[in-house]
Amino acid sequence: MAFALISPVAVLGERKHSLLEDLSQALNSSNPARLGNLFIGDQASQVKVQYRNFLARFSDLKWSVTTSTPLKNGRQVFDVFVTGTRNHGGQNYSLESHQKLLMHAEGSHIIDSEVITEHSILKSKDSLLTVQLQVPDVVLTGSTYDFDVLLDNPLGGSMVAGGLVELKQFEREVHLMEDIDLGPLGGGGIYKLVQAPLAPGSQIWGALIVHPDGLISITKRVRVVEDKAYLSF
């Protein structure tokens, strides 16, 4: 995920659209204080620190906040998109990130939050490489599921390496996961069968693909539930 601050739960009434506009404008302002003013209590300080750290890592950031399809129980879902760039080791990388969130507010302040799904892709900026991420957003506790990352570009004679690792503590920032053990990818992507934990919550994965035409770093949150009723939104 690109930026954990936005882990906004249902905004009700006429204030909803105004608050979304305020949040979008604050995120695009590059002003931590302005963003923190939208949150209540300890959240405000935490958000400002996270946002400031994120701004230090990425530039040319553009945020968008829109409403999405409500949950089956009627709670409103919001989409948060962010794009940006980062320089790391003398190389430039582009960021694309998406979160689906629930956001609860009173008046003009956000008081509670919950992330439903999220993923981020960081890749070499000038690379034409693109990937398809085929991973479920929600799985049952203890189940096995496919984690597939498909390269859209034909491999030809290129040698490609990649790896996948579960992130025990999601740092809520996008970075290059250089400590992932890499192996050759003969099928044009990463194809792994992974297992969900026995307890409900979230599982965070980090994937890395290294190609002669560029590098792609991916983070993906998978929601883990114990009731089949929550497998779909």
CATH code at position 182? 2.60.40.1930
Q: Is there a single domain that holds both residue 111 and residue 188?
A: no
Of 80, 97, 118, which residue constitutes the final position of a domain?
118
- Among residues 220, 213, 221, which one has the least CA distance to residue 130? 213
For residue 7, with 0-12 CB atoms within 10 Å meaning exposed, 13-18 middle and 19 or more buried, which class applies? Answer: buried
Tens digits of per-residue pLDDT, 33-60? 999 998 887 778 888 888 998 899 899 9
Q: Is there a single domain that holds both residue 82 and residue 107?
A: yes
At 2, the pLDDT band (50, 70, 90 cuts) reads very low
C-beta atoms surrounding 222 within 10 Å: 22
Q: How many domains does the chain have?
A: 2
Domain residues for 17?
A: 1-118
pLDDT at res. 6:
41
d(CA 180, CA 165): 7
Q: Is there a single domain that holds both residue 80 and residue 155?
A: no
Q: Is there a single domain that holds both residue 63 and residue 144?
A: no
Q: For strand 214-225 and strand 138-140, is the pairing parallel, antiparallel, or unpaired?
A: parallel
* pLDDT for residue 14 is more than 70: no
Tens digits of per-residue pLDDT, 182-214? 888 877 889 999 999 999 999 999 999 988 888
Q: Is there a single domain that holds both residue 22 and residue 100?
A: yes
The SS3 assignment for 24 reads helix
Q: What ranges in the chain are assigned the alpha helix state H?
A: 15-27, 32-36, 42-57
Q: Is there a single domain that holds both residue 66 and residue 97?
A: yes
Of 118, 135, 150, which residue constitutes the final position of a domain?
118
At 17, the pLDDT band (50, 70, 90 cuts) reads low
Tens digits of per-residue pLDDT, 125-172? 878 888 999 999 999 999 999 999 998 876 777 788 889 988 875 455
pLDDT at res. 169:
56
Lowest mean pLDDT among 18-22, 169-173, 213-217: 169-173
CATH number at residue 68: 3.10.450.50
End-to-end Cα spacing for the chain:
20
The alpha-carbon radius of gyration of the chain (Å, integer) is 18
Q: Is there a single domain that holds both residue 114 and residue 156?
A: no
Of 58, 85, 118, which residue constitutes the final position of a domain?
118
Which regions of 107-213 does DSSP assign to beta strands (E)? Answer: 109-124, 131-134, 138-140, 144-151, 161-166, 183-184, 189-195, 201-211
Q: Is there a single domain that holds both residue 56 and residue 106?
A: yes
Q: Is there a single domain that holds both residue 14 and residue 113?
A: yes
Average pLDDT over residues 87-99: 88
